[in-house]
């Protein structure tokens, strides 16, 4: 299905949409973005996503080319035009045109785009069966440095991790930094469960402040789960009863295998599901069947 696209405030046929070839987003990945989910046509956590978009832009020394209220309106217009009950919404801003060098100079005409696409159908049900992840070791600070917490357009490292994982027959990648401490997934945050305690790496480890991560941490107590933000060692990962990924698009996804090592009993766990239910309860899809029952 053709995505519904608003480019600089105008609805444009996605096949015809044009961005200047010298836009710094295209030349250097110089920009920021957000991906969120709409349930029953209603975007979930839109304000939080737009807030993070602004924070990511600030981290790059960019200002948003349109006020948040305008972006909010464009998301609503795009969702209306798409008419999809469940959808992905991507909001993207580039630094725009400027002198051709790497250092931003004479910058103007930022590009902004809102794209709505249907949720990709999948032959597998990761909620029912779990996913298999490959552990990737990276010198993380060297890879992303102070921008590790910003959602920038530069996803090359993440793309490489996923390419390698897929090439080896895995579904996903889990990233370990210096000293083999757990960081995050290629497009998700990671949680490990020991008994009734769930732990996720702290933000100062250099991970994205995932909004789903934040919601899951906040909901844990109500679901009878103790939640901690603390360093997670390789041993903690290997001895975990359950491991799961969180992201706005995929919500909460059980990991049942890391490399050749089975996680827990090799099936999606009780705590993962309890936290997924608690997360769902916050969304406009509250009360609908959980996706492992699909
Ligand atoms: C590297 C990375 N970490 C974490 C996340 C999860 O963030 P959120 O829950 O806000 O979608 C994402 C989402 O795309 C991501 O790309």
**Is 80 exceeded by the pLDDT of residue 151?**
yes
**Domain CATH number, residue 219:** 3.20.10.10
Q: Are 95 and 110 in contact (CB under 8 A)?
A: yes
User: Using 50, 70 and 90 to split pLDDT, how confident is the model at 12?
Assistant: very high
**Is 60 exceeded by the pLDDT of residue 142?**
no
Q: Tell me phi and psi for residue 263, to 5 degrees.
A: -85, 125
**Number of compact structural domains in the chain:** 2
Q: Tell me phi and psi for residue 65, to 5 degrees.
A: -80, -5
Instruction: Indicate yes or no: pTM above 0.85.
Output: yes
**Which of 64, 156, 159 shows the shortest CA–CA distance to 113?**
64
User: Using 50, 70 and 90 to split pLDDT, how confident is the model at 182?
Assistant: very high
pLDDT in tens, 126-139: 999 999 999 999 87
Residue with CA at minimum distance from ligand 1 atom 16: 187
The verdict on the CB of residue 246 being under 6 Å from ligand 1 is yes
The verdict on the CB of residue 87 being under 6 Å from ligand 1 is no
Asked if residue 231 belongs to a domain, the reply is yes
The verdict on the CB of residue 272 being under 6 Å from ligand 1 is no
- Average pLDDT, integer, range 81-107: 96
- Domain residue limits at 30: 4-117
Residue with CA at minimum distance from ligand 1 atom 14: 187
Greater confidence, 2 or 199?
199
Asked if residue 246 belongs to a domain, the reply is yes
The verdict on the CB of residue 56 being under 6 Å from ligand 1 is no
Q: Tell how far CA 42 is from the center of its chain.
A: 18
What distance in Å separates the CA atoms of residue 63 and residue 61, rounded to the nearest whole number?
Answer: 7
pLDDT in tens, 203-239: 988 899 999 999 999 999 999 999 999 999 999 999 9
Q: Tell me phi and psi for residue 215, to 5 degrees.
A: -65, -40
Asked if residue 293 belongs to a domain, the reply is no
Within this chain, do residues 103 and 162 fall inside the same structural domain, yes or no? no
Q: Answer with the one of 117, 147, 167 that is the final residue of a domain.
A: 117
Within this chain, do residues 274 and 137 fall inside the same structural domain, yes or no? yes
Asked if residue 292 belongs to a domain, the reply is no
Within this chain, do residues 80 and 220 fall inside the same structural domain, yes or no? no
With a pLDDT cut of 70, the percent of the chain lying above it is 98
């Amino acid at each position: 299905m053709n995505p519904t696209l608003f480019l600089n405030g105008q609805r444009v046929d996605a096949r015809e949409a044009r961005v200047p070839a010298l836009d710094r987003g295209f030349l250097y990945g110089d920009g920021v973005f957000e991906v969120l989910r709409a349930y029953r046509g209603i975007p979930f956590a839109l304000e939080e996503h737009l807030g993070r978009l602004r924070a990511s832009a600030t981290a790059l020394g960019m200002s948003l080319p349109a006020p948040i209220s305008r972006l909010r309106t464009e998301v609503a217009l795009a969702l209306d035009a798409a008419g999809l009950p469940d959808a992905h919404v991507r909001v993207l801003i580039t630094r725009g045109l400027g002198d051709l060098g790497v250092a931003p100079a004479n910058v103007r005409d930022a590009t902004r785009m809102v794209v709505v696409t249907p949720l990709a159908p999948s032959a597998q049900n990761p909620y029912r069966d779990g996913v298999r992840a490959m552990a990737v070791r990276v010198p993380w600070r060297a890879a992303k440095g102070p921008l590790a917490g910003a959602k920038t357009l530069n996803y090359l490292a993440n793309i490489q991790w996923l390419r390698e994982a897929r090439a080896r027959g895995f579904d996903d990648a889990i990233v370990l930094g210096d000293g083999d401490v757990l960081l995050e997934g290629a497009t998700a945050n990671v949680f490990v469960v020991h008994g009734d305690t769930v732990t996720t790496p702290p933000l100062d480890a250099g991970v994205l402040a995932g909004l789903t991560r934040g919601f899951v941490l906040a909901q844990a107590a109500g679901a009878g789960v103790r939640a901690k933000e603390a360093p997670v060692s390789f041993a903690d990962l290997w001895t975990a009863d359950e491991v799961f990924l969180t992201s706005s698009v995929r919500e909460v996804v059980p990991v049942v295998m890391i490399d050749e090592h089975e996680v827990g009993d090799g099936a999606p766990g009780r705590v993962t599901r309890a936290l997924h239910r608690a997360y769902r309860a916050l969304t406009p899809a509250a009360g609908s069947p959980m996706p492992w029952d699909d």
